[in-house]
Amino acid sequence: MSDEEVMKRFNSGRPYRDEAFMSTSTDSVIANSLTSSVTLHLQSTSAVNVSPFAMNAYEKEAIIPPQTPFEVVGLKKMHSTWHVDLKEVQDNADGS
């Protein structure tokens, strides 16, 4: 993902929603080994721990449902990796 795409998608203070399920890890070492040029640091209340059911339990996988609303609370680039801080927020009553 280009720098321009990252800055457009993860604008600080703006909402972010992923269209698909988000497969995450609660282990930062595992997460860093699986990441590319963008690492998401999530504060989530709706993540479901699926490690007990996973083939690779060592990954400490948690799944977040599609369209879960997050707010971008931080964005920085360190070396060649973007770090995006996302905090789950309440869904607005109007569905936006």
pLDDT tens, per residue, the chain with 96 residues? 899 999 999 988 889 999 999 999 888 888 777 778 899 999 999 999 998 998 888 889 999 999 999 999 999 999 999 999 999 999 875 555
Q: DSSP for the chain, please give it.
A: --HHHHHHHT-TTSEE--SS-EEEES-HHHHHHH--SEEEEEE-SS-EE-GGG-TTGGG-EEEE-TT--EEEEEEEEETTEEEEEEEE-PPPTT--
So where are the chain's domains?
3-88
- Which pLDDT belongs to residue 94? 55
Q: Show the tokens assigned to 88.
A: 């789950």
Q: Domain 3-88 is of which CATH architecture?
A: Alpha-Beta Complex (3.90)
Phi then psi for residue 66, to 5 deg, are -60, 150
Q: Specify the pTM.
A: 0.83
| Phi and psi at residue 22, to the nearest 5° | -105, 120
Position 13 scores a pLDDT of: 82
